[in-house]
Amino acid sequence: MDQFLPAIPLKDARVVVLGAGEPALNKLRLFRTAPCELVWCTLGVSPTLPSDLNPNTRIDTRARPHDVFRGARLVFIGIEDEKRAIKLAAKARKAGALVNVVDNLPLCDFYTPALVDRGAITIALSSGGAGPILVRDLRSAIETVIAPGIGLLAETARGLRQRVMDAFPSVDARRKYWERALRGPAAQLADAGDEDGVRAALIDALKDDAPASKGVVHLVGAGPGDPELLTVKAARLIRDADVIVHDRLVSPEIIDRARRDAHRIDVGKRQGDHPVPQERICEILIEQAKLGRRVVRLKGGDSFIFGRGGEEVDAVRAAGIEVHVTPGISAALAAGAQAQIPLTHRDAAQAVTFVTGRPKLGGPDLDYTALAAATHTLVVYMGVAVAATLARRLVEAGRSPATPVGIIENASLSTERRVFTTLDALAHTISYEAVTGPAVLVIGDVVAHAPEHLASLSQQHWSTPHENHHGKPSDRWPRGLSDA
């Protein structure tokens, strides 16, 4: 560790910023919500205070600051004249201040960190000037997992510190209280901005007969597999979960975002292999929630698109347990986006339909007549095993055998593969290319807009940037592709 990041109290502290240009303004913006005495010394310039700065900023236009350093805790110098900056820094240090000279590390007593500001919670990141872009990226990543109400929660807890110390004399007892209280209903109330509710919930948790935490179930769409395609809310729920109940399509990188002590339960299914029946999955969710745990049911894609999320919500709700649903990016949307296939297009398709290749046994068959319309995009989940039947029925219903088809396997993952063919060659292509991973089939004229599909037509060879199952790029057209 080559630097130490102290937390400097700002209440009533004097912070001085010197300079009238953008470097000085950037430093002033750091303190726009701070309860400090903020002095902007413009060194002879008479500026207008920008609207995005602290309205209580005092502007000092003296060209030669004398008394402005007196009592200052922090001084930022944002001027280009290095000789003058050195003199001003010396005067500020003599007055007892810590000095930061913008973009001049050797003259700095401290570095300006990247900040995540949540009121009473402040997170500071610094590379000591080694990699400011990396620090900025880290800050963006952290912003996505910090609950919006964390500052309100911390501020309210600070006001109850003495009351908690009186109620729980031992350190261990206080720790257990805070773990229970800050992770309970107060956290949800803080996210909703209910200041009175947060205080009441923290006080209720002080009682000897405080009710045990109620369990809750969150159905969370984990997206197509790439952790960067998680929603901000999904990432936070995964991090806070006591129990993760996950499918096999959820990548290990996503599951690893859970706490180390979170209980992980694999209920994944494969074609023809359902080790944990759906009824048992619903029972697991209910059992874990009844133990007072925060349960996250993690599903690939979106829970409500061929994820049986509706059945699980019904079961949990019927058991009297609170349940919430957080959407995810569906496999269809990810596959289309990855391959740059517009699922709808004014010149090619005015409608899109999602269907599953494995409907419920004994349930209604697909309406192939409706799905065969030329201006209709058809996206098929779990359709690899039934591709021959699917293609035949669509052609019989009137769809052209030359309709373009995109096969996107393992969408968004490093193992993603994109293969293009036509409806009459679909089954042969799947067999020849050994498509075995989870794949989405996109059927319709919109597929012709994919750059790789266009390249395949001009180059007259198999259009995919990935290797086939023989370990080499495919070098011939599958049967029927020339009809495209």
**pLDDT tens digits along 297-341:** 999 999 999 989 999 999 999 999 999 999 999 999 999 999 999
For residue 131, what are the contacts with CB-CB under 8 A and spacing of at least 6?
A: none
pLDDT digits (tens, 9 = 90+) for 168-194: 988 888 888 898 888 778 988 998 899
**160's tokens:** 């109850």
pLDDT digits (tens, 9 = 90+) for 9-58: 999 999 999 999 999 999 999 999 899 999 999 998 988 888 888 888 99
- Side-chain half-sphere exposure of 38, counting CA atoms within 13 A: 19
Please tell me the distance from the alpha carbon of residue 111 to that of residue 107, in angstroms, as a whole number: 10
Q: Cβ-count burial of 241 within 10 angstroms (0-12 exposed, 13-18 middle, 19+ buried)?
A: buried
Please tell me the distance from the alpha carbon of residue 331 to that of residue 335, in angstroms, as a whole number: 6
Please tell me the distance from the alpha carbon of residue 206 to that of residue 208, in angstroms, as a whole number: 7
Please tell me the distance from the alpha carbon of residue 283 to that of residue 278, in angstroms, as a whole number: 9
DSSP-H helix ranges across 340-414: 368-371, 387-396
Running DSSP on this structure, what letter comes out for residue 13? -
Question: Residue 461 — pLDDT band, cuts 50, 70, 90?
Answer: very low
For residue 56, what are the contacts with CB-CB under 8 A and spacing of at least 6?
A: 38
pLDDT surpasses 70 at 476: no
Q: Cβ-count burial of 410 within 10 angstroms (0-12 exposed, 13-18 middle, 19+ buried)?
A: buried
Q: What angle do CA 273, 278, 280 make, to 5 degrees?
A: 105
Nearest Cα neighbor of 356 from 342, 345, 376, 371 is: 371
Contact 295, 238 (CB under 8 A): no
Within a 10 A sphere around the Cβ of 295, how many other Cβ atoms?
28
260 or 245: which leads in pLDDT:
245
Question: Residue 473 — pLDDT band, cuts 50, 70, 90?
Answer: very low
**In what helix (H) or strand (E) does residue 27 lie, and over which residues does it extend?**
helix 22-29
Looking at the DSSP bridge assignments, the partners of residue 436 are none
Q: How many H-runs (helices) and E-runs (strands) does the chain carry?
A: 17, 17
pLDDT surpasses 80 at 371: yes
Across the chain, which distance is largest between two alpha carbons, in Å? 90
**In what helix (H) or strand (E) does residue 72 lie, and over which residues does it extend?**
strand 72-77
Over residues 212-217, the mean pLDDT reads: 80
- State the pLDDT at residue 213: 66
pLDDT surpasses 60 at 480: no
Altogether, the residues listed in the chain come to a count of 484
Contact 412, 439 (CB under 8 A): no
> Whole-angstrom distance between the N-terminal and C-terminal Cα of the chain?
61
Nearest Cα neighbor of 198 from 179, 211, 185 is: 185
451 or 378: which leads in pLDDT:
378
Map tokens 């309205």 to a residue.
55
Over residues 105-116, the mean pLDDT reads: 92
Question: Residue 270 — pLDDT band, cuts 50, 70, 90?
Answer: low
Contact 306, 382 (CB under 8 A): yes
Running DSSP on this structure, what letter comes out for residue 5? -
Please tell me the distance from the alpha carbon of residue 322 to that of residue 301, in angstroms, as a whole number: 22
Question: Catalytic site residues?
Answer: 247, 269
Please tell me the distance from the alpha carbon of residue 466 to that of residue 440, in angstroms, as a whole number: 16
Look at strands 72-77 and 243-246 and give their pairing: unpaired
Concatenating the DSSP letter of every residue in 348-374 gives TBSEEEEEESSPPTTSPPP-HHHHT-T
Running DSSP on this structure, what letter comes out for residue 106? G
Contact 85, 101 (CB under 8 A): yes
pLDDT surpasses 50 at 246: yes
Running DSSP on this structure, what letter comes out for residue 62? -
Contact 39, 14 (CB under 8 A): yes
- On average, the pLDDT of the chain sits at 87
Within a 10 A sphere around the Cβ of 97, how many other Cβ atoms?
22
Please tell me the distance from the alpha carbon of residue 7 to that of residue 120, in angstroms, as a whole number: 12
| Local structure of 417: helix, strand or coil | strand
